């Protein structure tokens, strides 16, 4: 899930525009980056291993260029494997997001070509050199998006199947990007490229064609009302911190929104499946618990495991799909298969026009604004607020949950206390169990501490063996039917020397450290989550890590 960006028609500052675009896309992958521009009929390139950070480009003035920020799939993290790649004639240049699944087979057919890297991308480039983009793309298997710079014709060509690609319409210049956010500084006039569409782009014109029929297609231009400044860091040190403090406004908005059309689809005996990946899967699991605890049939499914319901889904059931980006490949694949079963699909997503948004029958936008930090925060609590609203929880409780009256100093002190631990346990019961899973994920994602979540009742059936003197255990203890049992579980851990960190509306003698949350029925899940987000953030800072770009991760996984 790399980030790709291109511009044509620039007034001699193509390299700077591409670099700025890559910086906005860097949350999609940050193993290496590179840019190519055309100057005096020659392609001039720079490539680097590592993050872009505050790098400046040394490339010459040009009106056309493209670039790439990489999340490595094929070939190690080296300059040789960094994109953009050049063909044998050095007149074609390619960047790519996706995986060419049949690249070895294709490579055998390209024996006369000289390969400089281990990447699947370079194989695709030599194929396009051999038989042109259209013919070549038809031979490629997998989910891919490509931008090709043809220096002879001074134009950019782009094509996709599965991976996201958006064209931005400027004044006498046009842009191509993996996502909308990198375009907003320049334009809000955009075209969402559909699968198997190919575009020919110059500074003056964008022509669309169908890969299958090669017939011309009239582009659908969408005007977005998003502002680039919405995703400025402002007074915050990191996007994760900014996005944690974006939550009150977002949750307050969602608390009183009327999802009437969707609510009508939900009935107690009509089974609802919730689908998601990563943090979105934990929101799906929260939904399953919340629906079931209110007498509604429901089941949460990891999108990468959708096969287990393929033979069970029926048109009279409902599928609610949760995805911040709306582009996660496991989500898109599973929705494409499940939609064949004629089950109505509701999308809960943060990106208008994303693949999921376009695939769904009903759409709910999270309204969380751009989420830049790789670890998802505000998109998660936005999903919780919508789920609570869908079954009519008192909006006053949800609004109260947005208040975020948290003891920041105490959380920061705690992070200093436990920052050198190798293991942290997080336990919860019932509707707090998915919150425990999300809390552990946040700590793992940004601090690299091995945090594990357990349904508290399961601890004594094995995992409690891992508790040692001083092992931190975060205990989620809201004022509900699980409270007494949670306190008992806390005593069992304490008896083995564990350090008990209680997140609860009221203190308790078993807690070594108490972090207070308001008592808001099922909405208590929101402030409990925010405490865990802040603790994870402070742990990352305490360990000298960058919480926005954790190692090995990327914001939106668009490869299998
Ligand atoms: C991962 C992100 O790549 O994808 C997680 O790092 C996210 O934060 C997960 O929860 C699912 O993404 P999405 O966009 O489908 O919600």
Lowest mean pLDDT segment, chosen from 26-35, 390-399, 459-468: 390-399
For residues 342 and 320, membership in a common domain is answered with yes
Name which of 542, 506, 243, 538 is nearest 410 in CA terms: 538
Do the domain assignments include residue 147? Answer: yes
Q: What is the pLDDT of residues 328-379, one digit of tens each?
A: 999 999 999 999 999 999 999 999 889 999 999 999 999 999 999 999 999 9
Residues 352 and 435 in one domain: no
Question: Smallest Cα–Cα separation from 240: which of 22, 32, 518, 443?
Answer: 443
| 374, 445 contact by CB (below 8 A) | yes
* CA 192–ligand 1 middle distance (angstroms): 21
Same domain, 257 and 308: yes
The response to whether residue 382 sits with its C-beta less than 6 Å from ligand 1 reads: no
CATH of the domain at 361: 3.40.50.10490
Same domain, 378 and 327: yes
Q: What is the best residue among 326, 350, 372, 556 to mutate for testing ligand 1's pocket, by most ligand atoms within 8 Å of CB? A: 556
For range 57-82, the mean pLDDT: 94
- Would you call the peptide bond into 274 cis, given omega within 30 degrees of 0 as the criterion? no
Q: Classify residue 558: in a domain, yes or no.
A: no
Total count of domains within the chain: 3
Burial category of 389 from C-beta neighbours within 10 Å (exposed 0-12, middle 13-18, buried 19 and up)? buried
- Is the minimum distance from the CB of 377 to ligand 1 under 6 angstroms? no
**Whether pLDDT at 226 is above 70:** no
pLDDT at 227: 67
Residue 560 belongs to some domain of the structure: no
Q: Which residues contact 111 (CB under 8 A, 6 or more apart)?
A: none
Report how far apart, in Å, the C-alpha atoms of 413 and of each of 126, 340, 391, 513, 534 are. 56, 52, 38, 11, 12
| Shared domain check, 265 and 280 | yes
Q: Mark whether 357 and 478 lie in a shared domain.
A: no
pLDDT at 100: 95
How many Cβ atoms sit within 10 Å of the Cβ of residue 407? 14
Is any atom of ligand 1 closer than 6 Å to the C-beta of 323? yes
Whether residue 232 has pLDDT greater than 90? no
Which residue, 198, 223, 248, sits at the end of a domain? 223
How many angstroms separate the CA atoms of 147 and 489, rounded? 55
- Span from the CA of 375 to the centroid of ligand 1 (angstroms): 8
Mean pLDDT for 34-62 is: 94
β-partners of residue 86 are 93
The reply to whether 126 and 238 lie within a common domain is no
Given the CA of residue 356, which atom of ligand 1 is nearest to it? 15
Residue 510 lies in a domain: yes
List beta partners, residue 5. Answer: 67, 177
pLDDT at res. 341: 96
Q: What is the span of the domain harbouring residue 466?
A: 407-548
Rounded CA Rg of the chain: 25
Q: Is the pLDDT of residue 439 over 80?
A: yes
pLDDT in tens, 36-47: 999 988 999 999
End-to-end C-alpha distance for the chain, whole angstroms? 9
Question: Which of 169, 444, 180 lies closest to 326 in space, CA to CA?
Answer: 180
- What is the chain's length? 560
Mean pLDDT taken over the chain = 95
φ and ψ of 423, to 5 deg: -130, 145
Question: Which of the four pLDDT bands, split at 50, 70 and 90, describes residue 518?
Answer: very high
Using the predicted structure, report yes or no on whether residue 157 has a pLDDT greater than 90: yes
How many A from CA of 205 to the centre of ligand 1?
35
Given 353, 376, 403, the domain boundary residue is: 403
Mean pLDDT, to the nearest integer, of 61-68? Answer: 96
271 and 397 fall within a common domain? yes
Q: Is the CB of 29 under 6 A from ligand 1?
A: no
What mean pLDDT is predicted for residues 226-239? 82
Alpha-carbon torsion 538, 540, 543, 545, what sign?
negative
Whether residues 399 and 492 fall in one domain: no
**What would the 3-class secondary structure string for 154-197 be?**
CEEEEEEECCCCEEEECCCCEEEECCHHHCCCCCCEEEECCCCE
Nearest C-alpha neighbor of 178 from the set 69, 75, 277, 77 = 69
Mean pLDDT for 500-518 is 97
Could you say which of 162, 193, 223 is where a domain stops?
223
Is residue 555, in this structure, part of any structural domain at all? no
Is 202 inside a domain boundary? yes
Handedness of CA 173, 219, 352, 164 (dihedral sign): negative
Q: Kindly report, residue by residue over 389-406, the tens digit of the pLDDT.
A: 999 888 888 888 888 777
pLDDT at 126: 98
Mean pLDDT across 97-113: 95
The span from the CA of 227 to the CA of 339, in Å, is: 33
Q: Is the pLDDT of residue 78 over 80?
A: yes
237: DSSP letter: S
Residue 230 has pLDDT above 80, yes or no: no
- Whether 376 lines ligand 1, by a CB cut-off of 6 Å, is yes
Are residues 217 and 73 part of one domain?
Answer: yes
Q: What proportions of the chain, in percent to the nearest 5, are helix, strand and coil?
A: 35, 25, 40
277 Cβ below 6 A of ligand 1: yes
For residues 247 and 379, membership in a common domain is answered with: yes
DSSP secondary structure code for residue 406 in this structure: -
CATH code where residue 148 lies? 3.60.20.10
What are the b/e assignments for 133-168, b being 16+ CB within 10 Å? beebbeebebbbbbbbbbbeeebbbbbbbbbbbbbb
Query: Higher pLDDT residue, 12 or 416?
Result: 416
Which atom, in ligand 1's list, is nearest to the CA of 325?
A: 14
Looking at the domain assignment, is residue 553 inside a domain?
A: no
The span from the CA of 417 to the CA of 420, in Å, is: 8
- What are the tens digits of pLDDT across the range 183-198? 989 999 999 999 999 9
Residue 519 domain-assigned?
A: yes
State yes or no: is 555 an active-site residue: yes
Q: How much distance in Å is there from the Cα of 362 to the middle of ligand 1?
A: 21
545 SS3 class: coil
Top pLDDT among 91 and 400 is at 91
Residue 396 has a pLDDT of: 87
Residue burial 493-519, b: 16+ Cβ < 10 Å; e: rest: bbeeebbbbbbbbeebebbebbbbbbb
Could you tell me the pLDDT band of residue 265, with boundaries at 50, 70 and 90?
very high
Rounded (5°) CA angle 162-168-169? 140
Q: Do 156 and 109 lie in a common domain?
A: yes
């Amino acid at each position: 899930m790399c980030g790709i960006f291109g511009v044509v028609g620039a007034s001699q500052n193509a390299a700077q525009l591409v670099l700025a675009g890559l910086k906005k896309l860097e949350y999609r992958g940050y193993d290496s980056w590179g840019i190519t521009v055309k100057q005096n009929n020659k392609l001039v390139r720079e490539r680097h291993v590592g993050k872009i950070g505050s790098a400046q480009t040394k490339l010459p003035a040009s009106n056309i260029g493209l670039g790439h920020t990489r999340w490595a799939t094929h070939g190690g993290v080296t300059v040789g494997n960094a994109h953009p790649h050049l063909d044998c004639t050095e007149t074609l240049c390619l960047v790519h997001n996706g995986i060419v699944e049949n690249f070895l087979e294709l490579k055998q057919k390209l024996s006369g070509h000289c390969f400089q890297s281990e990447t699947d991308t370079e194989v695709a480039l030599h194929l396009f050199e051999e038989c042109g983009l259209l013919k070549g793309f038809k031979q490629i298997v997998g989910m891919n998006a490509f931008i090709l710079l043809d220096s002879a014709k001074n134009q950019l060509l782009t094509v996709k199947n599965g991976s996201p690609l958006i064209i931005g319409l400027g004044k006498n210049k046009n842009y191509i990007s993996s996502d909308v956010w990198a375009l907003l500084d320049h334009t809000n006039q955009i075209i969402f490229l559909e699968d198997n569409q190919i575009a020919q782009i110059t500074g003056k014109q964008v022509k669309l064609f169908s890969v299958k029929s090669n017939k011309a297609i009239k582009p659908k231009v969408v005007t977005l009302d998003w502002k680039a400044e919405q995703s400025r860091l402002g007074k915050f040190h990191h996007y994760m911190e900014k996005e944690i403090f974006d939550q009150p406004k977002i949750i307050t908005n969602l608390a009183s929104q009327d999802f009437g059309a969707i609510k009508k689809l939900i009935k107690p005996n009509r089974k609802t499946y919730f689908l998601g990946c990563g943090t979105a899967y934990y929101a799906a699991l929260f939904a399953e618990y919340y629906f079931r605890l209110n007498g509604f049939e429901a089941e949460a499914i990891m999108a990468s495991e959708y096969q287990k319901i393929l033979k069970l889904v029926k048109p009279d059931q409902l599928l609610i799909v949760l995805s911040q980006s709306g582009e996660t490949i496991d989500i898109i694949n599973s929705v494409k298969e499940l939609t064949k079963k004629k089950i109505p699909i509701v999308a809960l997503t943060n990106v208008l026009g994303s693949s999921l948004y376009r695939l769904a029958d009903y759409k709910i936008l999270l309204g969380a604004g751009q989420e830049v930090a790789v670890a998802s925060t505000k998109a998660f609590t936005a999903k919780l607020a919508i789920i609570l609203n869908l079954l009519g929880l008192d909006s006053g409780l949800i609004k109260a949950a947005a208040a975020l009256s948290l003891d920041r100093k105490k959380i920061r002190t705690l992070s200093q206390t436990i920052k050198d631990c190798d293991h942290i346990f997080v336990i919860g019961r019932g509707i707090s169990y998915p919150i425990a899973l999300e809390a552990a994920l946040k700590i793992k994602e940004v601090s690299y501490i091995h945090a594990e979540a357990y349904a508290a009742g399961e601890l004594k059936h094995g995992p409690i063996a891992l508790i040692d003197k001083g092992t931190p255990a975060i205990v989620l203890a809201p004022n509900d039917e699980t409270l007494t049992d949670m306190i008992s579980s806390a005593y069992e851990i304490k008896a083995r020397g564990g350090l008990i960190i209680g997140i609860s509306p009221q203190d308790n003698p078993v807690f070594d450290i108490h972090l207070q949350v308001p008592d808001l029925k099922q909405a208590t899940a929101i402030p409990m989550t925010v405490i865990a987000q802040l603790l994870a953030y402070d742990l990352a800072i305490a360990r000298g890590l960058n919480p926005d770009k954790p190692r090995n991760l990327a914001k939106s996984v668009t490869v299998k």
